Amino acid sequence: MKFQNVKGTRDFYPEEMVRRNWLMGMWRKISRRHGFAEYDGPTFEYLELYTAKSGDGIVSELFNFEDRGGRQLALRPEMTPTLARMVAARANALPKPIKWFAVPNFFRAERPQRGRLREFLQWNVDIIGAAGEAETLADAECILVAVDFLRSAGFSPEQVEIRISSRALLAELLNCLGVENERHPATYTLLDKKEKQPDEVWQEELRRSGITPDQQQHLTQLAGARGAEAHRVIQNTLKTSTSPDGAAYAQLQQLFVYLRALGVADYCVFDLGVVRGLAYYTGVVFEAYSKGTLQRAICGGGRYANLLSAMGGGALSGVGFGMGDVIVLDQLAEMNLLPDSALSFDCYVAVEEQVDTVHLLKLVSLLRMKLGLACNYSYKSTSLKKQVAEAASQQVKYLLIMGTQLQLKNMQSGQQQLVAEHLDWSTAAAETELLSRLKQMLGNSPD
RNA sequence: GUGGGUGUAGCUCAAGUGGUUAGAGCACUAGGUUGUGGUCCUAGGGGUUGCGGGUUCGAGUCCCGUCAUCCACCCCA
């Protein structure tokens, strides 16, 4: 019987693990420097937690099972329900705003394809409980974190952009056009599809949507309007109403003022075509869009004003985004931005023929446990040349050569120094002497 | 769930229209170059050609099924 990994899952051999750890490290570093605290929850929850948010239809999309007590459980397909549950449990005790992030693995029973697997990692960043004016600050900070990551990973504004819009603004505009509230969700879906299908198909769907020809014409102008053009279209639309609201429009303009102040405006573009598929977004919506050969969203997020209360979490508004590792790594690879994934250790001890293995082990143990260095040596007695070659293949910074003398070689500079003329393991004092000598030489060597 | 492409060594690929014992490079292992940078030389291990059936004197090659994988659709938290 030959086994293989389950469809849609990945094995992480050391080389891939280096990349994965690099990405997770970036996510954590970026999150922390913007003042976010890491949290996590269980890998599985009660099935109802997910059906409560997304309806029974979600069940076919997730891995669910029954435990021995007959309870219906499911592997987590996303973090928001868990987050809502955790926040709800301590809603009154947690200081606001709550700025949390997580880098969990998720499971979805979907058909795998490029950029989508059945188990994947996703960076989740949320700010919950910022109210009033502070909402826009939180929106800006969320987008800032996303841009900071993309820029730090090496994406240029030519390679990726953050497309930003607002559901609240769209609602305002639809009201001006006289589209009834109950038609808003369907209209959002329509707008969302504008760029994803041929124009004739979209126009056909528009005709069948049940809104008036006049409304259809305005909607065509709105959909996909970007930057200055979007502002012009909005101003024209607001004029068509006798009592325009304009609050959401003002808020969105304020958001862009903040983004300019934060220095990330070059990555951001106002784009009315961004809607996001999720029903629960109520305010700002945004996505990072890759402009590579495979054009697609790298991350997506937005403001959800009612989600937590709908899940028993109290009247707290939140804003957040998620970024999956599969697409990010895919896009980084395409743009040649992935770091070197070779193994690397701190040092390697090579021995000449006459060296006693017991002495070798004593030195290795000093390096590993007293100096805390990641250190390797060969189990076999092979030529010095092969040991040096192996050291080089492990990308070590230092090579220690043990013979009658002990020498230290800096593998980057090629410089070699004498550590000790003779190695004396007979007394504890001699060992301490050697240790401090090594500490000094390794500590002072330039990396 | 629908449609399409692809399955030969760990990886990248060979093997005229069916024809002897399925090959190469890289990687891996061992030995050598008596030793300080991924070298070079030699040797070796590794394959039921995804699996099952069929056609045939004979199938990696043709046919059917199945599984896996990739791509697109659906969906996208």
Do the domain assignments include residue A342? Answer: no
Chain B nucleotides covered by protein, CB below 7 Å: 1-2, 28, 30-31, 33-39, 68-77
Closest-CA residue to A298 (of A183, A162, A393): A162
The CA–C1' separation of A254 and B2, in angstroms, is 46
Q: List, for residues A386-431, the tens digit of each pLDDT value.
A: 999 999 988 899 999 999 899 999 998 889 999 999 888 889 999 9
Q: List, for residues A75-89, the tens digit of each pLDDT value.
A: 999 999 999 999 999
Q: pLDDT value at position A210?
A: 78
Same domain? A74 vs A133: yes
Same domain? A176 vs A288: yes
Do the domain assignments include residue A5? Answer: no
Count other Cβ atoms within 10 Å, centred on residue A326.
17
The CA–C1' separation of A373 and B58, in angstroms, is 63
Asked whether strand B has any atom less than 7 Å from the CB of A8, the reply is: yes
Of A334, A360, A383, at which residue does a domain stop? A334
CA distance A357 to A425: 13
User: What's the total number of domains in chain A?
Assistant: 2
Of A309, A334, A359, at which residue does a domain stop? A334
Quick check: A131 and A239 in contact, CB under 8 A?
A: no
Q: pLDDT value at position A262?
A: 97
CATH number, position A427 = 3.40.50.800
Do the domain assignments include residue A63? Answer: yes
Q: pLDDT value at position A447?
A: 44
The CA–C1' separation of A109 and B51, in angstroms, is 25
A428 alpha-carbon distance from chain centroid: 50
Q: List, for residues A93-139, the tens digit of each pLDDT value.
A: 999 999 999 999 999 998 888 888 999 999 999 999 998 899 999 99
Q: A342 burial class (0-12, 13-18, 19+ CB within 10 angstroms)?
A: exposed
Quick check: A306 and A158 in contact, CB under 8 A?
A: no
Same domain? A280 vs A395: no
The CA–C1' separation of A153 and B67, in angstroms, is 39
Do the domain assignments include residue A9? Answer: no
Query: Going by DSSP bridges, is the β-strand pair A406-410/A398-402 parallel, antiparallel, or unpaired?
Result: antiparallel
Same domain? A294 vs A377: no
Q: List, for residues A9-54, the tens digit of each pLDDT value.
A: 888 888 888 899 999 999 999 999 999 999 999 999 999 999 888 7
Same domain? A111 vs A206: yes
Same domain? A169 vs A293: yes
Same domain? A239 vs A98: yes
Same domain? A278 vs A135: yes
Q: Considering only residues 73-92 of protein chain A, which place a Cβ less than 7 A from any atom of strand B?
A: 77-78, 80
Q: Considering only residues 313-352 of protein chain A, which place a Cβ less than 7 A from any atom of strand B?
A: 322, 342, 352
The CA–C1' separation of A113 and B9, in angstroms, is 27
Q: Give strand letter and number of the nucleotide nearest A383 (CA to C1').
A: B35
Handedness of CA A54, A55, A57, A61 (dihedral sign): positive
Same domain? A37 vs A186: yes
Same domain? A243 vs A357: no
Long-range contact pairs involving A433-437 (C-beta distance under 8 Å, separation at least 24) = A434/A366, A434/A406, A435/A366, A435/A370, A435/A371
The DSSP code sequence of A89-156 is: HTTTTS-SSEEEEE--EEE--SPPBTTB-SEEEEEEEEEE---TTHHHHHHHHHHHHHHHHHHHHT--
Do the domain assignments include residue A225? Answer: yes
Quick check: A323 and A123 in contact, CB under 8 A?
A: yes
Q: List, for residues A422-436, the tens digit of each pLDDT value.
A: 888 889 999 999 999
Do the domain assignments include residue A35? Answer: yes
Do the domain assignments include residue A45? Answer: yes
Which is higher by pLDDT, A295 or A229? A229
Same domain? A254 vs A302: yes
The CA–C1' separation of A119 and B59, in angstroms, is 40
Same domain? A88 vs A113: yes
Q: Give strand letter and number of the nucleotide nearest A117 (CA to C1').
A: B76
Of A291, A307, A334, at which residue does a domain stop? A334
CA distance A406 to A399: 10
The CA–C1' separation of A6 and B51, in angstroms, is 17
Q: pLDDT value at position A242?
A: 78
Residues of chain A with pLDDT > 70, as a percent, come to: 98
Quick check: A55 and A279 in contact, CB under 8 A?
A: no
Q: Considering only residues 241-300 of protein chain A, which place a Cβ less than 7 A from any atom of strand B?
A: 276-278, 294, 300
CATH number, position A317 = 3.30.930.10
Q: Considering only residues 114-173 of protein chain A, which place a Cβ less than 7 A from any atom of strand B?
A: 114-116
Do the domain assignments include residue A291? Answer: yes
Report whether the peptide linkage leading into residue A97 is cis, meaning its omega lies within 30 degrees of zero.
yes
Q: Which domain holds residue A322?
A: 14-334
**DSSP H helical segments within A177-226, as ranges?**
184-193, 199-207, 213-222
